[in-house]
Amino acid sequence: MPVSKTAIIAAMPQELAPLVRGWSAIRITMQNREVRLWESEQAIAACGGIGMISARIAAEAVWQHSKGSVREFISAGYAGALIPEFKVGEVFIPEEIVESVDDQRLRTVSGSGILVTAGAIAGGDQKRSLAKNYLARAVDMEAFGVGDVARVYKVPFRVIKAISDELDFPMPPMGQFVDAQGQFHTSRLLLYAALRPSVWPVLAALGRNSAKAGAALTEALAQAIHQ
């Protein structure tokens, strides 16, 4: 019987790159989407793209690849702060996930506070609205999708997110660079930025923030795997 492993689901490969360095890697196709998988003796990690549909597909891909030998699903990655106390690089482990479209809710096996899963990359006004409507501390786009798969298969579920943008961060319109398959197109962003020098400092700050969040996320996930 296969060894039961921790399943870690993120949106983008860069969120997991430091963690999965040296793991075996494969690519599989599920529901006409490419999912990247990395596997070690203790865990399987997957990236399927941005958004809840992509997260569900990636979680299902891990379940099928492991033949159901998953001891826990973890939704991992970056999140935006909805409270001013959260700073870049802080790790947030929520106890409840709220899906913003239908107001569905899921509980995790450990944590505190609320994370809201939104249908789009949230800017300043959207963040304040989500914070007010759901009393949430942070926002992402995938956690509820992973949790829904975990609920179907009756597997424990938790969320580990690192803050990559603070409440007042002037987020550029990043959603226009995400395609229907949940893939982010850096080339489109670079073309957009090339014509708008005013956004260069913001993108540079976003890059630094992502690196800091990634380091914190990697440490938290490594601890989770070895618990």
Q: Where are the alpha helices (DSSP H) in the chain?
A: 13-20, 52-65, 124-134, 143-152, 186-194, 200-226
Do the bridges between strand 70-81 and strand 43-47 make them parallel or antiparallel, or are there none, so unpaired?
unpaired
- Supply the pLDDT for residue 162: 98
What value does the mean pLDDT take over residues 112-133? 92
Three-state DSSP at 131 gives: helix
Domain residues for the domain of 78 are 5-226
Amino acid at 225: I
CB 11 within 8 A of CB 141: yes
Structural domain count, the chain: 1
Confidence of residue 124 (pLDDT cuts 50, 70, 90): confident
How far apart, in whole angstroms, are the C-alpha atoms of residue 154 and residue 159?
Answer: 16
Segment 171-227, tens digit of pLDDT: 888 888 988 888 888 889 999 999 999 999 999 999 999 999 999 999 999 999 987
Q: Residue 209 is part of a domain; what is its CATH number?
A: 3.40.50.1580
Tell me the pTM.
0.93
Specify the pLDDT at position 172: 86
What is residue 2's predicted lDDT score, i.e. its pLDDT?
66
What does the pLDDT look like over 58-99, one tens digit per residue? 999 999 999 999 999 999 999 999 999 999 999 999 999 999
**The pLDDT of residue 1 is above 80:** no
Model pLDDT for residues 125-139, shown as the tens digit of each residue: 899 999 999 999 999
Counting other chains too, the contacts that 84-87 makes at CB distance below 8 Å and 24 or more residues apart are: 84/166, 84/167, 84/168, 86/137, 86/138, 86/163, 86/166, 86/167, 87/163, 87/166
pLDDT tens-digit readout, 137-168: 999 999 999 999 999 999 999 999 999 999 99
Structure tokens at 124: 């300043």
The token duo for 55 is: 């997260």
Give the model's pLDDT for residue 54.
Answer: 96
pLDDT score, position 159: 98
